[in-house]
A and B are shown apart, each in its own frame.
Chain A
Amino acid sequence: MARPRPEPMQVVKQRRDAALGALVGGVPYIRFLGIQFDRRGDELTGVLNFDEKLIGNPFLPAIHGGVTAAFLEVTSIITLSWTFLFPDIESGAIDPERMAAGDLPRPPKTIDFTVDYLRSGLPRDAYARATVSRSGRRYASVHVAAWQDHHDKLFAQATGHFLMPPPLDADARG
């Protein structure tokens, strides 16, 4: 049997970008830090746009260790949510318009988060990518790495464990 005709590219992109935009844009703290996400297919890259208010050591100057930790944690949570929701976004079970209207799925809860500071964060943009090492029904383990000028020169990395939200209930599937 012939496979169904693939959806037009714009439809796919629009759906995915709308869902990601809602997931990220709905969180005040992500806006406060100035973090955005680049998407290539299902792969996400967190982008921390540099701003003076992110400085932790004004004499070096260097990005605040807490900002680095927060950036890594935000990237982990968004990547984990995205991975968890992606099948439902693709199938249409989740409506990106309802997400944008504030009907957001519950985010995973951080259980613990361990950050390795490898170099000081320079006063410029930073990037991070997270990989979900294991995602079970209740617990997930995520590794995340961040870099600035050179992808192979990480300035920080982290591992975290997360409590997954309960599966989507009937009304969220609308």
Chain B
Amino acid sequence: MIDKAVLARQFIEAIPHAKALGMRLDEIGAGTATISMAYDERFVGDPKTGVIHGGAVSAVMDTCCGAAVMSHPSAPGGTATIDLRIDYMRAAVPGQTITCTATCYHITRSVAFVRATATDEDAERPVATASGAFTVEGK
């Protein structure tokens, strides 16, 4: 299990786009992952308000869901997104870090099912939630 967590962390940190967005893998467990992204003016979607673009939140959600799948004890190797739905509850507060937690709640030989929640510094009120299906790939 430890090896898998180390492997997943190395994998996430080797992703060029995760690096470009400044993503940090905060936690990884057996089928769960937490990734955060600090506020950055380059990721703003509405210049009048300074609110981060939904697309940047999507990228964190997608990465976090993938990490949750790879960290699952039944996942032999890599994964790719089949589909991902994101619901946006509210705008993230400008200046605050966005933190996403994903859970791979079911996995078969071919498909992993994942849910995720993203918050800003107010962890009580989600910014966005996601649910998706991911492929389960061999080593």
Q: Inside 8 A of A56's CB, which chain B residues have their CB?
A: 15-18, 63
Are A69 and B44 within 8 A (Cβ)? no
B2 within 8 A of A: no
Q: How far is the CB of A72 from chain B (nearest CB, A)?
A: 8
Q: Inside 8 A of A110's CB, which chain B residues have their CB?
A: 54, 86, 88
B59 within 8 A of A: yes
A71 within 8 A of B: yes
Are B82 and A29 within 8 A (Cβ)? no
Cβ-neighbour of A106 out of B15, B48, B58, B62 (below 8 A): B48
Are A113 and B54 within 8 A (Cβ)? yes
Are B80 and A109 within 8 A (Cβ)? no
Q: Considering the complex, which residues of chain B in the window 1-44 have a beta carbon less than 8 Å from any beta carbon of chain A?
A: 14-20, 41-44
Q: How far is the CB of A74 from chain B (nearest CB, A)?
A: 6
Q: Inside 8 A of B63's CB, which chain A residues have their CB?
A: 56, 64, 66
Q: What number of B residues sit within 8 Å (CB to CB) of A?
A: 38
Complex interface bits, B50-77 against A, C-beta within 8 A gives 1, otherwise 0: 0011111011111100100000000000
Q: Inside 8 A of B52's CB, which chain A residues have their CB?
A: 29
A116–B62 Cα distance when bound, in Å, is 12
Q: A28-B43, A70-B59, A102-B47 are in contact. Are A53 and B81 (CB under 8 A)?
A: no
B87 within 8 A of A: yes
Q: A58-B14, A64-B15 are in contact. Are A29 and B62 (CB under 8 A)?
A: no
Are A58 and B44 within 8 A (Cβ)? no
Cβ-neighbour of B15 out of A33, A58, A109, A117 (below 8 A): A58
Chain B, Cβ-Cβ closest to A102? B47
B124 within 8 A of A: no
Q: Inside 8 A of A107's CB, which chain B residues have their CB?
A: 45-46
B109 within 8 A of A: no
Q: A66-B62, A73-B58 are in contact. Are A104 and B47 (CB under 8 A)?
A: yes
A21 within 8 A of B: no
Are B80 and A28 within 8 A (Cβ)? no
Q: How far is the CB of A54 from chain B (nearest CB, A)?
A: 6
Are A115 and B84 within 8 A (Cβ)? yes
Cβ-neighbour of B85 out of A57, A102, A109, A112 (below 8 A): A112
Task: Tell me which of A52, A74, A102, A109 has the highest count of chain B C-beta atoms within 10 A of its own C-beta.
Answer: A109
Question: Can you identify 25 A-B contacts, CB atoms within 8 angstroms?
Answer: A28-B45, A32-B43, A53-B16, A53-B17, A55-B15, A55-B17, A56-B15, A56-B17, A56-B18, A57-B78, A64-B15, A65-B80, A66-B63, A69-B55, A69-B59, A69-B62, A69-B86, A106-B46, A109-B88, A111-B87, A111-B88, A112-B86, A114-B84, A117-B80, A120-B80
Which residues of B line the A interface, CB within 8 A? 14-20, 41-48, 52-56, 58-63, 66, 78, 80-88, 91
Known contacts A28-B43, A66-B17, then 12 further A-B pairs from the complex at CB < 8 Å, ordered by chain A residue? A28-B42, A29-B45, A29-B53, A56-B17, A58-B16, A64-B15, A64-B16, A65-B66, A69-B59, A70-B59, A113-B54, A114-B85
